[in-house]
Structure 1
Amino acid sequence: MFQAVLSAYGLRADSCKIEPFGSGLINHTWKVCQEGLAYILQEVNTTVFPKPEYIAHNIRAIKGYLDQTAPDYLFVAPINASNGDDFVVVNDRFYRLFPFIAHSCTIDSVQRPEQAYQAAKQFGQFSRILYAFKAQQLKPTIEDFHNLPLRVRQFKNALAQTSSERMIKASFAIEEIIRYYDIEAQYTQMVKSSELHLRVVHHDTKISNVLLQSETGIGLGVIDLDTVMPGYFISDVGDMMRTYLSEANEEENDFNKIAIRNDVFAAIYKGYMEEMNQVLTLAEKQFFIYSGKFMIYMQAVRFITDFLNGDIYYKTNYPEQNLVRGLNQIDLLNKYVARQQEFEEIISEIDKNQEIVLK
């Protein structure tokens, strides 16, 4: 496989050092080194992304726009094959090659508020520089990716069809999801009233999708652009809230380890709003805290729905893992909601200090 793919880029596999790279769970990724040059080779998971041509279309469109409007922005786009194609297809598998950015690194979890700040600033900058780009030009690489009403309907369908055994085991989680139905109702109202503006958003803002400068930790840019498509800013902010605020991730089964870090929340707000403050409308800004509820709740709904359906979507390593994941996210949501007043005070203090700086 490597020889067939790399030769399409003018490289010889037998003279390259090839090793697995990164911690991504969707696409297979390798680092390829040859004669002092380094690349990232990736196989696209066509189960998750059934239309790779949509990914290529979106990246081409954004790159063309940025080449004209922000040529100095670090946009890590794939290298075209020798024949000009976006992908190399071998045995019905899609591969692409990226340049490896020297003196860069990624991290898998937020250990310090500064890391959250750098990431939030990079995701905010990405949306800001694409503010005038018509998001409708982009194609949906994953249909209904962050469609909360759809996820709630799927939950209701699963609830009606699940076994009595799974319903009993998930009874607390089911009650909690129903108790928070207002999160979905608020989202529906926001979209219906056009309070949220369709923008170019990343949709997968985990910390590992930010390139950092190796020595300083300063953000360089965002990567893993397969999910870039039209959406609402609450997707990007909400996913940062979901994955940055607690040191414990969604696999943790000791819920005592799930704890909200206010300093990380402040870092997310500061970094993101330094870039997006002049872009977001006043109405949108009112939903900054809501964004965390939106994404945490949606992920809880998806895990519990999959458990009720018999674990047919997410991979599991032990029985009831999806139930544990769902309960984990419900615990995170409850702890997040309990901090709302503190979050509002943090935002007010940052905004006040920003006004002083501007004066």
Structure 2
Amino acid sequence: MSPSVLPAFGLKEESMRIEPFGSGLINHTWKIIAPDGNYILQRVNQEVFHKPSHIAHNIRLIADYLQEYYPEYKFIAPLLSSKGEDLVHMNGEGYFRLFPFVGGSHSKDVVKTPDQAYEAAKQFGRFTKLLAGMDTAKLKITIPSFHDLSLRYDQFLSAIEKGNSLRIHETEEQIKTLIGFSDIVREYEHIKSNPEFKLRVAHHDTKISNVLFDAEDRGLCVIDLDTVMPGYFISDVGDMMRTYLSPVSEEERDFEKIEVQDDFYKAIAQGYFNEMRDELTQTERSYFFYAGKFMIYMQALRFLTDHINDDVYYGAKYPGHNLIRAKNQIVLLERLMEKESVLATYQP
């Protein structure tokens, strides 16, 4: 990071300490410790977000809406530069934004208790509920087709046809399994054409680290709004299920450790319905369990597609990394579907 960024926000580097912050893998983040208070500085990853100005537009739109209608809501809006900009561009270095650091708050990398899952789900539900009156057409698309399952399935089929022939042969079992679950895609296509499913302001990245907690482990607000776009509720709920339900992550190689914890599922449902019960249509509520299948299946497709395509998207930290991830997600999907008769009827 160049010190030349800081004066654009009225900060002098010689009077502060700068240190890396957080565990995010997309944007570069630093904590700025200054005499007058602390800040969070981020450089937007343009390899992922090709138009950072779209992100700035969305966050400012949301900030203005919440300030007008729900000023009591804790929304962490970016601080303006000396020139009144949300986003500062530095030649050769990229785009930067500065946020106030929320004192007394903390984030988590892993969901460890049902209470934490409940608090996170409640915060993501509240975020969408408060923005229910916003015109989603005004939001920019920051990652085109991000959660378009139909597209991801088509990419998977294309990889089977054109990808690495050796890897295709070695993954015949996984390919057959995922094709066998293609009814999940047909359900998604039904959702897109069903007026009972509403496009709402969705976060699209509801892992636990995107929630701030207070000292008592109560949720304060959601953060990291780069992927906020119009979307269906299944994106946010599904991502919570994918990342909260199992005690191990998508990186786990011992598949015996993968399980679906019923109390975490119920906590997600309780937290989300606590805020969104009256916003969701009856048809949407009936698809709550499907949200988990939707997101886990899509991630399994994406990991196996990348493996077959020689790891061009996610990369690989070791040989077969994306294949392990794909197998992991297939097992998680199977574990979830085994409990469909029990969990799908749960409505808090």
- Give the TM-score category using the shorter length: over 0.9
Runs of 4+ in 1 over 3 A off after TM superposition: none
Matched AA of 1:157: S
Separation in structure 1 between the aligned mates of residue 321 and residue 195 of structure 2, nearest angstrom: 38
What corresponds to 2:262 in structure 1? 262
Matched residues in 1 for 2:88 and 2:33: separation? 19
Deviations 1:131-166 (A, max 9, x none): 111111101000000000000000011000123310
What is the aligned partner in structure 1 of residue 341 from structure 2?
341
Q: Which amino acid aligns with 2:272?
A: Y
Q: Report the counterpart of residue 152 of structure 2 in structure 1.
A: 151
Partner residue of 2:183?
A: 182
Asked if 2 retains the 8 angstrom alpha-carbon contact of 1:3 and 1:14, the reply is no
| 1:142 aligned residue | 143
State the secondary structure of the residue aligned to 1:204: coil
The offset of 1:36, in angstroms, is: 4.5
Asked if 1 retains the 8 angstrom alpha-carbon contact of 2:16 and 2:33, the reply is: yes
1:95 is paired with a residue of what secondary structure? strand
Question: Which residue is equivalent to 2:316?
Answer: 316
SS in 2 for 1:104: coil
Q: Could you tell me which residue of structure 2 aligns to residue 286 of structure 1?
A: 286
- Return the offset for 1:230: 0.3
Tell me the secondary structure at the aligned position of residue 41 of structure 1: strand
1:251 matched to which residue of 2?
Answer: 251
2-side partners of 1:64 and 1:210: how far apart? 21
Match for 1:193: what amino acid? N
| Distance across 1 between alignment mates of 2:196 and 2:167 | 38
- 1:207 is matched with which residue? 208
What is the aligned partner in structure 2 of residue 233 from structure 1?
Answer: 233
Which amino acid is 1:67 matched to? Q
Query: Who is 1:80 aligned against?
Result: 80
Structure 2 counterparts to residues 42-121 of structure 1, below 5 A = 42-92=42-92, 93-121=94-122
Structure 1 length as normaliser, TM-score?
Answer: 0.95
Q: 1:33 corresponds to which residue?
A: 33
Structure 1 Cα separation of the partners of residues 16 and 2 of structure 2: 10
Instruction: Kindly report the root-mean-square deviation, in angstroms, between the aligned alpha carbons of the 2 structures.
Output: 0.9
Counterpart AA for 1:158 = A
After superposition, give the CA deviation of every residue in 1:88-117 in whole Å (9 maximum; x if it has no partner).
Answer: 212240011000001000000110000000
Hey, what's the Cα distance between the residues in 2 that align with 1:89 and 1:58?
17
Distance 2:222 2:278 in 1: 21
Paired residue secondary structure (1:102) = coil
Indicate if the aligned counterparts of 1:2 and 1:13 stay in contact, CA closer than 8 A.
no
Matched positions, count: 347
Mapped to 2, the partners of 1:269 and 1:163 lie a distance apart of 41
Give distance in 2, aligned partners of 1:60 and 1:169.
48
- AA in 1 matched with 2:83: N
Q: Deviations over 1:184-204 (max 9, x none)?
A: 001001111223100001000
Tell me what 1:161 maps to: 162
Amino acid in the other structure paired with 1:298? M
Identity of matched residues, %: 51
SS of residue matched to 2:43:
strand
Conserved? CA contact 2:201–2:230, under 8 Å: yes
CA contact (8 A) 2:288 2:344 kept: no
Tell me which amino acid in the other structure corresponds to 1:168: H
Scaled by the length of structure 2, what TM-score is found?
0.98
Task: Give 1:171 shift.
Answer: 1.2
- Supply the AA of the counterpart residue of 1:96: R
Equivalent position amino acid for 1:182 in 2: D
